[in-house]
């Protein structure tokens, strides 16, 4: 289960008051819990429905995900993308990729997803495209690198969404280099007049950033 940073009863109420994800995604949650190590990596309903809602509003044609795991957030984003849209997903765990693909094959949105095996920074080197929408959710040590690379590739008006920006609350009292990375990426976003953002206390925190210029 996700750690609760806001009052647990409030978190449960928000969960129950948010419409359910499609049945296939509920099956994916159950399957991930049963079959994969670290099922808590999966972002879950509140983050997933937020991603789906934002994608439906933005209608991204070219999207990117850094850290796909078993495909929950990827399918949530793809659900909001128009026909012909393409979501490139970076992932280093072959077992997670194989598992995710069994769900992509069964989803009406799975054909929009293009999985790239390997470290995301290497995959980014191979991409020559303008991004409308990106979800960053892997390898926190590189969060600042991911954010800066993706910001360059994002069109004005495009969105970048970063997960786990509360970092279990450690951003308030950073003690490690890793904690400092999360603090620094949040500080830079808030101080950058070329972007506008909203920091949502959903689950472990999601920072929604819109590139202005």
Ligand X SMILES: C[S@@+](CC[C@H](N)C(=O)[O-])C[C@H]1O[C@@H](n2cnc3c(N)ncnc32)[C@H](O)[C@@H]1O
**Binding region for ligand X (CB under 6 A):** 41-43, 66-69, 72-73, 90-93, 96, 119-120, 137-139
If the CB atoms of residues 119 and 174 are measured against ligand X, the closer one turns out to be 119
7-to-1, 12, 22 alpha-carbon distances in Å: 15, 9, 27
Minimum distance, C-beta of residue 20 to ligand X, in the bound complex (Å)? 16
Rounded least distance, CB 163 to ligand X, Å:
7
Nearest approach, Cβ of 10 to ligand X (angstroms)? Answer: 22
Q: Which is nearer to ligand X, 75 or 189 (CB)?
A: 75
Instruction: Using the minimum distance from each CB to ligand X, give the nearer residue, 74 or 189.
Output: 74
**147 touches 204 (CB < 8 A):** no
Give the whole-angstrom CA distance, residue 188 versus residue 192: 6
Residue tagged 């620094």 (tokens): 184
Q: How many CB atoms lie within 10 A of CB 117?
A: 13
The smaller minimum CB distance to ligand X, of residues 179 and 192, is found at: 179
DSSP 169: G
């Amino acid at each position: 289960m996700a750690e609760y940073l806001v009052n647990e009863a409030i978190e449960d109420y928000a969960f129950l008051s948010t419409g359910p994800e499609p049945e296939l995604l509920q099956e994916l949650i159950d399957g991930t819990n049963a079959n994969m190590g670290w099922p808590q990596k999966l972002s879950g309903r509140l983050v997933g429905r937020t991603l789906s809602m934002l994608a439906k509003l933005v209608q991204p044609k070219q999207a990117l995900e850094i850290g796909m795991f078993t495909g929950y957030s990827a399918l949530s984003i793809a659900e909001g993308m128009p026909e012909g849209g393409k979501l490139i997903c970076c992932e280093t765990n072959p077992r997670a990729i194989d598992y995710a693909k069994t769900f992509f094959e069964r989803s009406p949105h799975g054909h929009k997803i293009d999985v790239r095996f390997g470290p995301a920074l290497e995959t980014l080197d191979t991409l020559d495209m303008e991004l409308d929408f990106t979800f960053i959710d892997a390898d926190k040590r590189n969060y600042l690198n991911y954010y800066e690379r993706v910001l360059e590739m994002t069109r004005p008006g495009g969105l970048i969404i970063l997960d786990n920006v509360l970092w279990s609350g450690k951003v308030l009292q950073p003690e490690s280099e890793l904690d400092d990375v999360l603090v620094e990426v949040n500080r830079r976003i808030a101080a950058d007049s070329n972007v506008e953002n909203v920091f949502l206390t959903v689950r472990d925190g999601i920072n929604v950033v819109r590139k202005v210029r």
